[in-house]
Structure 1
Amino acid sequence: MDVKTKVVEILAEQAVLEPSDVEMDMTLEDLGIDSMALVESIFTIEEAFDISVPFNANAPGESGFDISSVSRIVAEVERLVAEQHA
């Protein structure tokens, strides 16, 4: 399973949606994912890909992990997977 598919599945589960309902340009707000669900998603992503996500829930803008859209989250996870498994 590729990174995009898995990340979309994780976000869809948190949003109580089908993965097919998740579009790449959607924001977390569009998906109805609040800060608590985001933290859960980050933990699940870390476990699924055996990576450490540099995310601070108290200061998300300063964490260096772009959560502005589904496509940005996928790109960030792909980058972390590449870096940590290089």
Structure 2
Amino acid sequence: MGAKSGSRKVNVEAPFRDDMERLVSLLLKMIFIGFDELEMSERVEAVELFGRKLKHDVSDVYTRLASLEEKVELLEQHIS
């Protein structure tokens, strides 16, 4: 299941959404009290959630690049 945000598809599956809601909550807390004032468990959780988000985005970019490469190859075949 997905929703549109502008022209970009946004992943709104429950586990991903829950992780992002928690990450946003921790980031807001960091803004108000600072990273050093978070409990150690919250620091670790924030870093892990950010890492998962980054991994997802890198995977998404790689998938898009692979798709573009495939389309370019098809265009090259039709041109020659």
Higher strand share: 2
Greater relative contact order (Cα < 8 A, sep 6+): 1
User: Taking structure 1 as the reference length, what is the TM-score of the superposition?
Assistant: 0.29
Q: For the pair shown, which has the larger CA radius of gyration, 1 or 2?
A: 2
